[in-house]
Amino acid sequence: MSSLKTSTTTLAALCAAVALLGACGEQDTEAPGQSPAPKLAAAGAIEADPYTITCGHVRDQQRWASVTRQATFAIADRERFRNLNRLIASQSLYYAMTEVCKQKPVTFGPAQAAAAGVRDGTFRVQRPDHHNG
């Protein structure tokens, strides 16, 4: 009789646990721990104003490489960095944006910080040395 009572108690506990697990998450509408990805500005918006580029664009070069390249050239043209030609300025801006974005969310706009970093010399790529070919 004791064995039957123990089996019944165990079975009741097991059923209660299954019912509890089945009810968990019943009201959830989205996957736990995941929020929707933020919407990034369209290519046309960045073309109109290159300063609207975000870290999401800079990080996802598979999708946004061309847009990022165009934005860095447009910003280089607007900023006119002293002693940097257009190519070195745009490469420096891209480098600066990648560095700035390492610690920022995908929605952060790195253009102003990148331009300031290039201007003050924090983020600059080196000119190729043609003498050591």
- Where in the chain are the domains? 43-126
Distance (Å, whole) CA 34 – CA 16: 29
Distance (Å, whole) CA 108 – CA 69: 18
Q: What is the pLDDT of residues 28-82, one digit of tens each?
A: 454 456 556 678 889 999 999 999 999 999 999 999 999 999 999 999 999 989 8
Pick 123 or 19 by higher pLDDT.
Answer: 123
Distance (Å, whole) CA 120 – CA 15: 68
- Give me the helix-helix angle, 111-119 and 86-101, nearest 10°: 120
| Nearest alpha carbon to residue 94 among 128, 71, 126 | 71
Q: State the residue for tokens 């046309």.
A: 44
Q: What is the pLDDT of residues 81-98, one digit of tens each?
A: 989 999 999 999 999 999
